[in-house]
Amino acid sequence: MGISVNPCALTVILILILFSVAWTLADGAGMHQRPCHCVKLLSAEYTARLRGGHLSCIYPARRSHGCPSAVVAKLHQGLSVCLSLKEKRVRRWIAVSECGHGKRSVRGRRRIHCCH
């Protein structure tokens, strides 16, 4: 006598497993990160180094990026750079682009709203 399994329940379980695997893969590829923030670098040094100075978005940094107290800026070319918003000299280098406005977050940090 074998164990009887409801085919409908088995299908639901398989769908859940496939969805969790797909979600994990997407998380590893960074497909559903937090909303990005549009900024523009003003420093001539950084502008030259970052090929035009336009950043596509800026993400909260993860420890895996090697800069836990900073944010990771993603460039249009796919490069990335760590920017610390706590340092005044770095704060002078970034400015909100014409499509966003800087506001204070709950913790007092300056947060630049996404312009997408």
The tens-digit pLDDT sequence of the chain (116 residues) is 566 767 787 787 888 887 776 666 654 444 444 444 444 443 434 444 444 444 444 444 444 444 444 444 544 444 444 554 444 444 433 433 323 333 433 444 443 333 33
Nearest to 74 by CA among 104, 48, 50: 50
The model's pTM:
0.24
